[in-house]
Amino acid sequence: MTKNSTGFEPSDKLALQYIKEKGYASYSSLKNVRDCVDPSKKTSAIWFDVGTEVHSRFLEKKKPILKLSVQDNEAVRSMVESLENHPVVRRLMVGAKVEQFFKQKIWGLEVLGYIDILPPKDVADLKTTRHRNQHDFAANMDFLQAAMYRAVTKRKDFYYIGIQKEKPFNVFIFNVHQYPDRIAKADDELKYLIKYVKKQTGL
């Protein structure tokens, strides 16, 4: 298949088959198509335990739900405290709904997912990260997720919130519009992928 103007060649048959069997696409399944990734090869859940616990305690204000080591439990406590004390994060959390499920059509394809933070006017996603500075965190974010969630909510501003997994547990936060070329490319990627998936799967 000839590469399109966004510079990628989605051609992974297993990823397309996965979407066809489900009857809908998610950010991760569209990413699998774009990156030609076999959706059956998943990372061990243990890797995500700290991130799961941070999401649960910070977003949903739940008590500990996982059995963590003393060291990891203290790290989670410090990460949540850093998030709660960050002024921009606090602003975004005012009146926000959390873990908001969506299942709807965009450009004719049904998509499904969960939005971490849905303030009255913006959208935000929380990530735990091992990056040590804002530049590296931003450089490693996949703007395809931002493009999809903005299309679903019809909102302009999308914030990635990163919380460092290690001391000093810094918070990194940015609006995708700080990188106009990247979000414009991601918007084009999303439209191209949806058109491609619809054609290949018949959905």
Residue 47 has pLDDT above 70, yes or no: no
* DSSP state, residue 40: T
Give SS3 for 166: coil
pLDDT band of residue 38 (cuts 50, 70, 90) is: confident
On the question of pLDDT at 76 being above 60, the answer is: yes
Q: How confident is the model at residue 62 (pLDDT cuts 50, 70, 90)?
A: confident
pLDDT of residue 40: 77
Distances, alpha carbon 4 to alpha carbons 26, 80, 134, in Å: 21, 42, 31
186 by DSSP, 3-state: which? Answer: helix
pLDDT (tens digit, 9 = 90+) per residue, 136-164?
Answer: 999 999 999 999 999 999 999 999 999 99
Residues in CB range of 168: below 8 A, 6 or more apart: none
Per cent of the chain over pLDDT 70 is: 91
Q: Where residue 64 falls among pLDDT bands split at 50, 70, 90?
A: confident
Say yes or no to pLDDT of 4 above 70: no
Beta strands, E only, the chain: 97-106, 109-118, 123-129, 158-164, 171-175
What's the predicted TM-score (pTM) here? 0.90
- Of the candidates 29, 22, 84, the one whose C-alpha atom is nearest the C-alpha of residue 57 is 84
- pLDDT of 12: 77
Residue 101 CA from chain centroid, whole number: 13
Kindly indicate the confidence band of residue 42, based on its pLDDT and cuts at 50, 70 and 90.
low
Q: Domains, the chain, ranges and CATH? A: 13-201 (3.90.320.10)
pLDDT of res. 3:
47
